[in-house]
Amino acid sequence: MTTYYNIPTLNDSFNRQTVDGEQYYFRFTYNVEGDFWTFGLWADFDNLIFATKLVPNIPLNRAFSAEGMPKGTFYCLSEVTNVINKGAIMEGAATFAYVPEGEELTEE
């Protein structure tokens, strides 16, 4: 079952989340100069597992795996924009989702 997470509207946030029954930290960071957002998955405050730019409607971690990383797929979804910029997050035009391994993306 797809799990949806809120993307905080803060320019930099670090929040604990549960993914596949394990605790991780999500970090969403806004890049002012490039007008884009990044997502980081952390094991704890000192150990980054994975980070990427938020791009809409594609699997964010399809070509990436690391020890300790969930086996499913992260997405940033939007039906109204092809760029995840400050406005997309502030206006709620994008959502963040995790799809467990072997499952299909489902509607919120």
Q: What is the dihedral of CA 8, 48, 56, 89, to 10 degrees?
A: 10
Asked whether the beta carbons of 84 and 54 are under 8 A apart, the reply is yes
| DSSP H/E element including 72 | none
Q: What is the pLDDT of residues 4-58, one digit of tens each?
A: 999 999 999 999 999 999 999 999 999 999 999 999 999 999 999 999 999 999 9
> In the prediction, which pLDDT does 106 show?
86
Q: What is the pLDDT of residue 68?
A: 87
Q: Which residue has the tokens 């997050």?
A: 89
- Give the mean pLDDT of 88-96: 92
Query: Who's near 80: CB < 8 A, 6+ residues apart?
Result: 88, 93
Q: Residue 3 above 80 pLDDT?
A: yes
